[in-house]
Amino acid sequence: MNHSENITPHKTSVASYERMKITGSRPAVYWMSGLSGSGKSTVAAIFEKKLVDAGHACFMIDGDTVRTGLCAGLGFSPEGRRENLRRIAELAKIVASSGQTVVVCTISPDRQSRDTARRIISASAEFREVYVKADVELCASRDPKGLYKKAFAGEIPDFTGVSAPYEVPESPEIVLDTAEHTADECADILYRDAITGIYQPEKLIRGMIDAALAASAKIMEIYDGGFEVSIKGDKSPLTTADTASNAILTSMFREKFPEYSILSEEETDSVERLSNNAGVFIIDPIDGTKEFIHKNGEFCVSIGFASRHRVTAGVIAVPAKSLIYYACEGCGAYRIGFDEITADFAIGSGVKLQVSDRTEKVIVAASRSHMDKQTEQIFAKNGDRILDSVTAGSCLKGCMIAEGRADVHYRYGAFMKEWDTAAMEIICKEAGASFTDIDGKPLIANRADPVNRQGFMILNHPESALDTSGIE
């Protein structure tokens, strides 16, 4: 009797992005196919450990392990193998849907079964077919399970690669040649691909740029048309442009990136961001409000993105100059004009930024509106080392160092917050600079206390460090 008409699957009420906040991973399945002995399980185990060590949810499904449980009653006939792979695909889909990266290790010798797995999984998760390439001779020489010896002796019938065919994938997303690369190298390839899939840097940077452009347009509309100024509790100024920019940025990010939290200067902070394992936008809707009020053009829209307490992407828009500075970890830092950002924009568009080579006679970047006694002492102690100084408002100082127009910047005291430094930190680092607190320690992103209490310093090269002894 067929009871299928009595079955009603119950849909979850939890969105995928809600799980990502907990697991830090998008649903994805790496379907690793190859001959026995090709290295599938070895590579997969290393890959799984790398992702977990980096704080992402990952689960490995090994074909042999499934055969001892879920598929214990299936044989090795063509029908039995197809049903085995179908069950594995259904299992992988369920696990991936829980907000994990799943690594499946199975010979899956025929294209039809792999295509079926793709069809089952793709509706719920990213599907990546991985061909683990190794010929029969190499696999037999490894023979980790002693199977090839038995197969060649005729003791194992229908053994893939010996007495049964293996259909090489025609267009897999990834090919891992284990004859040319070590297991660690192959795992690194998968890890880099997975991290890219989790954070989707092209989408992330483009979304940040689009938001910065929209906020910049509104800011300039208010800049040219008049604005109101009030004073916040910390005695810093707030304009109608700050609040308008914040409204645009936060609404765009919440709509396009619901998986990420927001830390903004102009919003009430929420502890929710501290437990978000996916990431957080760190926003200063107008960095350099005093410069905006003075109408000198030296103000910015500053957007950083942090994950695992490290800034990994940043966008700084300079509305009055129609310029965008942007960077993401491992991709470099760039400058591009507003009018150069087209529909086919991709990371790498624009002028690549690189710090200067000056180390003996350096150019110091100083704040236009916040010159302090410590900076004055640095100038007094290092007159023979300083070629010149330049002043700029907001995070433009970091941009100047990133593009080689200045070399060092020191900022003491607990005046700056994460939203003042996050975007320019990654832009400076990707251009070759160091960006640390005054003691040379890394800045920790997405902290409970967003104040940079140890100040910060930017150096184009370690040799450019100035004498700061006795300054505090």
Q: Rg of the chain's alpha carbons, rounded to an integer? A: 27
Instruction: Give the Cα separation of 463 and 407 in Å (integer).
Output: 11
- Which DSSP category does 358 fall into? -
DSSP 412-441: -STT-BHHHHHHHHHHHHHTT-EEE-TTSP
Beta bridge partners of 392: 367
Residue 216 annotated among the catalytic residues of the structure: no
Instruction: Give the Cα separation of 6 and 10 in Å (integer).
Output: 13
DSSP, collapsed to helix, strand or coil, labels residue 57 as coil
- Tokens standing for residue 10: 């119950």
Residue type, position 396, single letter: L
Roughly what angle, to the nearest 10 degrees, separates helices 240-256 and 201-225?
A: 160
- Which DSSP category does 104 fall into? E
- Residue listed under structure tokens 């640390």: 436
Do residues 389 and 366 lie in contact, with contact meaning Cβ atoms separated by under 8 Å? yes
Roughly what angle, to the nearest 10 degrees, separates helices 78-97 and 111-122?
A: 20
Instruction: Give the Cα separation of 452 and 416 in Å (integer).
Output: 6
What order of strands is seen across the sheet that includes strand 332-337?
Answer: 261-264, 280-287, 300-307, 310-318, 323-328, 332-337, 351-352
Distance of CA 296 to the CA centre of its chain: 34
Hey, which bits of 186-293 come out as E strands?
A: 229-231, 237-239, 261-264, 280-287
Pairing assessment for the beta strands 101-105 and 58-62 based on DSSP bridges: parallel
- Which among 98, 122, 131, 106 has a CA at the least distance from the CA of 24? 98
Residue type, position 60, single letter: M
Could you say which of 41, 97, 108, 216 is catalytic?
Answer: 108
The catalytic site residues sit at: 108
